[in-house]
Structure 1
């Protein structure tokens, strides 16, 4: 581990300086100067004084011996707190470049303090700024000080989430790569120094709502929501708060009571839709379009009960069973275990779009589930 470079006066010379009766010779002074002018080397951590500061570099005085530069890519999480005249510690990357200046790093010098700082930030639910180093299909590699963490796609804000219809992986990666070298504000959601596990969340910052905006919404409130993104799992929208527009999500299961695999083709970016606020938990807003429509499950218990025999059409077949159409808006599930004895593949006894006789085994109004068995 690098140590701070501190020139020392030899003990025998120090004793001379403290003894007023002992004269210090020119040879002594030469020895002291020789000790103090030993150049700093790569890998040392030295105390420097900040001469100037800009978004792209910090100019420092290195122990009165040379001028140093801390480039932007070597900034650490302490950058915002640094002022001209401050004395700080920096790690020497290059003791002298072609211009005679030292190249230094803040994030290397801060490496031992980073994990402690991250833990404090997580505990206090504080925001930090990270630099995006690279991207992969799962998310972004982000730097904080001398440590790297992961920012999953699922934890990006709605403005940075790769809104690619159909989930094309190449297009998603291309969208993520546009964020490389940007600085993003995030919160720490997982920090473990022993396993070197560090996970960030941007949406925890951007999806949080200030008190005034939060007070302008209530559960069950009907709002105008502007569609800002269409993805496989739903619609990203914004709604106007008291002071600011706030991002929210309409999950695809909350779009319609009727099962529709082509739902995404019915909406456009920029379109305004009516929706009901269904959740305000953890500073995030969830909305529903289908909640504005009559709930078909409220009538189903009056029409059907356990033990009823019905004739219903198979809408889809899966390895674990089949879905059948009960009404225009409600489907039931026939588990493979209820298709007959020793059935290994539902296709052996069922075909899509054909009608069969079934018996209703149970109706769960709270979970919106109907279980059936095939009647032969």
Structure 2
């Protein structure tokens, strides 16, 4: 008897592979990571991650990992209050969330075919608030219905669900979008092909993986099928009478064994199963692609709507978008996790936040983007793109020039390190900010967002640059420039740092402070700074006085307000009777407020006809 082991598609899908590899990379670097559930439905992979140090409970200074399934936005926001976050949501899943939001905004009731307790569907419900997740067809009370799917659902089951939904909702507008991952569909088709071809199919993957179980169910319809998580289970299964009988029946002919895995299975697990069969039973390896006369016919049944020329063009285009190649595309979507880019053909690019050259708010849909392909998955036509890596050489040249010319360079503080802080310059190159050069006080929270730095050291050692930056030296330079260039009458913006009975202290441009006395708060002399100015508020002020030598600023809020005295000559005439509020009584008369900022004086001589009396017996404040 000869044995042929036919390998079908196997290994992680793009989203899972990206998540698992990123977690392993960070754990090996010594980072503390935790998450809220299974990163992948595969106990072999989970055991490996646990051994490397992945936790499932929060720890101090640990980074939270958002799994490929995603999370509801409010949950991410809650966790982000106490922990840094790495968002490893699969781009395809993320696009499903965005589609649901868009459909809901267009007035559709979104119905998602999937399991309510599946992490992806829990996350979808958080993004699409009024969505309904179900696997049972029902009558929807709304007139506009949009049906989408969990990305790992069975395509056959989804289509059956859609038909039943149409039957139950006659006369309503029903929009159907098949959001099942292309890899899932291809695996199901491959399982069917293998089962028709082989005497025995072995499906490798977690018992709690829905897409792996579906492959088992499909294959079982056509041939004897085993579902194992690894070699340890396969050994036991092959000893059962049912499987032994298959080997006996094919004693004088070729026994064909098919191997396939779910999208949450490491290809190493499949290889282990393959080598176990070869070492213990003999045989040779074949791939489905090698079975030209059979697989081509089956493949054409699945893609009959596409011409051979189209398939050839797509294949050639995929080669052009190979790993390491520079590609150009158009931004089609912007999300909190990165950019989706149309690279032409059937290839979709995704640029994660950490691979962008600029801040994400600086991009807009329709912009062209150029970057380098870092990873590509040919099965689902998805590529991870880095915009910043091709720019690294250019950025290093600019940093070197900045060191020589004193030019300001932009960046952001990433984290505390021994003796200082790690800084990412122009979102591309790492630099070191010594604590003594940081202007950050001990215990002070790290500033977020883009900042300015002065480059004080630049060296290339081997392949890695050694760059040292300073905020302190830049700070002094900025202060000097401010007092040189500013003059009385200029309007500046600042954040209120303190308010007391005398006035308010305001930080201007993050580099100097100015004082706003009560007299410069309002034209109403009774209004004080504490009445209208709040700590932490950003406001505009006019510079009344500036002293470059002593680095002092006198600011005015009142000067930016309309002057009520400009209308006094038109509004008030001599001999006119007016009413007002007494605001102050003096021995020689009293003051009356006619309106905000306008006060009049009544001399004591205008109160009594002859002998001057006690004003306090006549008026009071």
TM-score by length of 1: 0.40
TM-score, normalised relative to structure 2: 0.26
**Which has the larger strand fraction?**
1
Q: Which has the larger radius of gyration?
A: 2
